[in-house]
Amino acid sequence: MTARPARSVFTAAILIFVVTSLAAVAEKEALPPPQMAAAAVSASVTTPNDFEGSDSERINKAITAAAAAGGRVVIPKLNVGEGAVRDLWLLDSAILVQSGTTLELENCHIKLSDRCRDNFIRSGNCGVGITDIAPMSDIHIAGVGSVLLEGADHPRATGDAAKTLGEHSYGTDAGAAGEKQTGDWRNIGILLAFVERFSVENLRIKDSHCWAISLERCAFGRVRDIDFASEGGKMIDGVSKTILNQDGVDLRQGCHDIAIENITGHTGDDLVALTNILHEDRPAGSTISTMVSAGNNRGDGMDDIRNVTLRNVRGHCAGGHHIVRFLNASGLKIHDVIFDGLIDTSGSGRRDRAALKIGDSNPKWGGVTPLGDTYRILVSNIMSRAEHTILIAGSLSESVITNVIKYDAPGDPITYESGPENVRNVEVANVRSLNAPRE
pLDDT per residue as tens, the chain (439 positions) = 333 333 333 333 333 333 344 334 333 333 334 333 333 444 589 999 999 999 999 999 999 999 988 899 999 999 998 789 999 999 999 999 999 999 999 999 999 999 999 999 999 999 999 999 999 999 999 999 999 999 999 999 999 999 999 999 999 999 999 999 999 999 999 999 999 999 999 999 999 999 999 999 999 999 999 999 999 999 999 999 999 999 999 999 999 999 999 999 999 999 999 999 999 999 999 999 999 999 999 999 999 999 999 999 999 999 999 999 999 999 999 999 999 999 999 998 899 999 999 999 998 888 999 999 999 999 999 999 999 999 999 999 999 999 999 999 999 999 999 999 999 999 999 999 997 554 4
Report phi then psi at 173, rounded to 5: -80, -5
Give, in degrees to the nearest 5, the angle at Cα 394 between 423 and 347. 105
Length, in residues, of the chain: 439
Residues paired with 264 in a beta bridge: 227, 314
The number of folded domains in the chain is: 1
Is there a domain that residue 297 lies in?
no
Domain residues for the domain of 32 are 11-39
Report how far residue 120's alpha carbon sits from residue 200's, in angstroms, rounded to the nearest whole number.
13
Is there a domain that residue 159 lies in?
no
Contact indicator for 152, 114 with CB cutoff of 8 Å: yes
38: Cβ contacts below 8 Å, ≥ 6 apart:
none
| Longest distance between any two alpha carbons in the chain, whole Å | 115
Nearest alpha-carbon partner for 211 in 193, 195, 230? 230
The four Cα atoms 282, 284, 285, 288 give a dihedral, to 10 degrees, of: 10
Report phi then psi at 129, rounded to 5: 85, -5
| pLDDT given at position 30 | 38
Is there a domain that residue 25 lies in?
yes
Across 71-98, b (16+ Cβ under 10 Å) vs e yields: bbbbbbbebebeeeeeeebbbebbbbbb
Nearest alpha-carbon partner for 92 in 59, 130, 47, 65? 59
Tell how far CA 123 is from the center of its chain.
Answer: 12
Is there a domain that residue 299 lies in?
no
Give, in degrees to the nearest 5, the angle at Cα 259 between 253 and 263. 100
Is there a domain that residue 24 lies in?
yes
Is there a domain that residue 34 lies in?
yes
Residues paired with 317 in a beta bridge: 267
| pLDDT given at position 184 | 98
Report how far residue 120's alpha carbon sits from residue 104's, in angstroms, rounded to the nearest whole number.
14
Tell how far CA 400 is from the center of its chain.
Answer: 28
Report how far residue 228's alpha carbon sits from residue 210's, in angstroms, rounded to the nearest whole number.
12
| pLDDT given at position 436 | 54
Is there a domain that residue 404 lies in?
no
Burial class (CB in 10 A: 0-12, 13-18, 19+), 258: buried
Is there a domain that residue 33 lies in?
yes
Q: How far is CA 301 from CA 88, 252, 256, 331, in A?
A: 44, 14, 11, 9
Contact indicator for 276, 326 with CB cutoff of 8 Å: no
| pLDDT given at position 349 | 82
The secondary structure of 162-215 as a DSSP string is T-BBTTTB--TTTT-TTS-SB--GGG-SEEEESEEEEEEEEEEEES-SS-SEEE
Residues paired with 313 in a beta bridge: 263, 342
Report how far residue 335's alpha carbon sits from residue 399's, in angstroms, rounded to the nearest whole number.
10
99: Cβ contacts below 8 Å, ≥ 6 apart:
67, 136, 137, 138, 139
| pLDDT given at position 268 | 98
- Judged by phi (left if over 0) then psi (alpha if -120 to 50, else beta), residue 75 lies in beta
Nearest alpha-carbon partner for 123 in 221, 245, 266? 221
Report how far residue 317's alpha carbon sits from residue 270's, in angstroms, rounded to the nearest whole number.
6
Q: Give the pairing of strands 374-384 and 79-81.
A: unpaired
